[in-house]
Amino acid sequence: MNKNLLAALVALVSLFPRLALAQVPAERYSRLCASCHTADPGASFRSSALVSRGDVGQLAAVIQRGRPGRGMPAFGATLDAEQARALAGWLKSTVTQATSGTMINRRIEAESLRLDRSAGFSKTQDGETHFLQWIDRGSHLCYDDVDLTGVRSLEYRYAKGEGEPPRRFAVVAFQGDFGNGRRYPLGEKNTPLTGGWTTFRTERIGLARQLSGHHRLCIIGMGGGGVFNLDWFALSDAPGTNDGITQTFELADQRLTGGGHHFELEKMGEIDGEFWSLDFLDARTLIATQKGGTLWLLRKGQKPGAVEGIPRVYLGGQAGLMHVRAHPDHARNGWVYLSFVEPRGSTEDNMLTIVRGRIRGQRWVDQQVIWRAAPEFFTNSGAHYGARFDFAGDYLFFGIGERGTQDFAQDLQNPFGKIHRIFADGRVPGDNPFARQPGALPTIWTLGHRNPQGLFVDQRTARVWSTEHGPKGGDEINEILPGRNYGWPLVTHGINYDGTLVSNEAERAGFESPRKNWNPSPGLSNLVMYDGAAFPRWRRHLLVASLAHQQLKLIAVDQGRVIGEQVLMEGIGRIRDVIVGPDGLPYVALNQPNGQVYRLRPAH
């Protein structure tokens, strides 16, 4: 063999261990960190003093023990000291390389956003083009550590299909966390039609002011109707124009009127992420889920505290840490129930799971699995999880969406597109409607659901209420009755997002019709029956939250029929959950884009 060729081969082989060593920390970052900090650590940690100026030992120690107060889990059980140091060294090296130079002309892919600080979108692709779709009113796409020094405009590539009105979006920069920092509205822009949902074109929005240094940059969907898709945006020093600034995204305590009462919004807590659900553990303590995978304890006037030791969560698309409820007898038994999207090993397969545990101090203990699907029902879909649940005596009702495959909703052999009933300890009641039907899952209570986003049991009447996301149009309120088929996708009041028909029929004999449906879709989320004394005119009305329309609705019902609707408030953020506290006052969890909890109290 030629000596020069042999020497080259020997040199190449000698590189293999070093290449492998470099790949191991990158793989660990992708597996353990990227779901919260994005796939680009250079962008995520550009302004982190710990990563850029701390030594490797300090950073490794934080990786192992976590930062519970900031929602960062501990990885000491996953990484030993040597592995943590290797990851810390790789992070510092990657960030050093990324921070050399300006971000002018840097193109940022839309899907590289900070997942746990963003909401109201879905990732998809068309051929080789990966992009975000369904960006709607209240959607917020947030990107950490963007250096705006010298930036005068953003160039962006978007698509918007036929039959849609223009959508307006805002660009807002943030500094600081948990509501203590500042926000800078930088401009708004309308999005005209481009000729198709995958027909992309490039536009520019000029910034109303120039900022220096690193910020969290958010693109926020505003009013105007319809949705749009986003491929990428780029930071530019070229001038540009915008369509003005109409909203500051500051939500101060304020006085409102609705449903015959004057009321005030009082902030109870805020996090730097997306709230998904909340409940009370006692008269003073709220417990809340952050979709990104943190369980928070909130007390007014105190900084939120994270609960350590909760299950590992799959984060992607609509997946994450979802619903939380204290057991009705929590004061005696201490049980807290969680629904979350569980990953299956190192694959992208995932599925909704329900567990219960107790909280001692700030730690999750005594965990028990209440419901977990069989392995064959874990899929790589990131959509339509449902995830809400509620108690009815000894029973637990919970909903699961059809995970984006419409026909699943009519198949009794799978759990998708169904509302289920089990005992609160996970046992299956023998008197469920399909418990004795060969091949049917015995937990199924009802079928034919697309994506049940709200579930509430009226303890006074035992009626079970659900809200459901339709496609384009067709959001519903349903009364859930045993064994009934709610029709999806065979009957629906909505159409597909591209304008094609899902079904020729809105209703049909043999299928349960909604108690109310909406077109356009308000993006309904959770609901609760108000039974408090503070607002007498609201008593025995449903409070229904919405995402896209950012509304809290007051729905009048009589013997299971919807007989009236009013809007109590709107335009203050995507309202993900609504509950009634021990004090008889409504509480809402909303995102704008930080997660915030507000109490509605009578105005004097």
Q: State the Cα–Cα distance between residues 532 and 581, nearest whole angstrom.
A: 9
Residue 73 per-residue DSSP state = P
Residues designated as active site: 384
Q: Measured in whole angstroms, how far is the alpha carbon of residue 104 from the centre of its chain?
A: 31
Residue 351: strand, helix, or coil: strand
Helix (H) or strand (E) holding 62: helix 56-65
Tokens of 173: 């920069």
Residue 368 φ/ψ, nearest 5 degrees: -130, 140
Residue 112 per-residue DSSP state = G
Q: State the Cα–Cα distance between residues 137 and 133, nearest whole angstrom.
A: 13
Q: With contact defined as beta carbons under 8 Å apart, do 12 and 18 qualify?
A: no
Q: State the Cα–Cα distance between residues 515 and 455, nearest whole angstrom.
A: 14
Tokens of 483: 């064994």
Tokens of 58: 């300090």
H helices present in 195-338, as ranges: 330-333
Q: State the Cα–Cα distance between residues 161 and 525, nearest whole angstrom.
A: 26
Burial code of 336-351, b = ≥16 C-beta within 10 A, e = fewer?
bbbbbbbbeeeeebbb
Q: Which amino acid is located at 517 in the chain?
A: N
Give the gyration radius of the chain's Cα atoms. 25
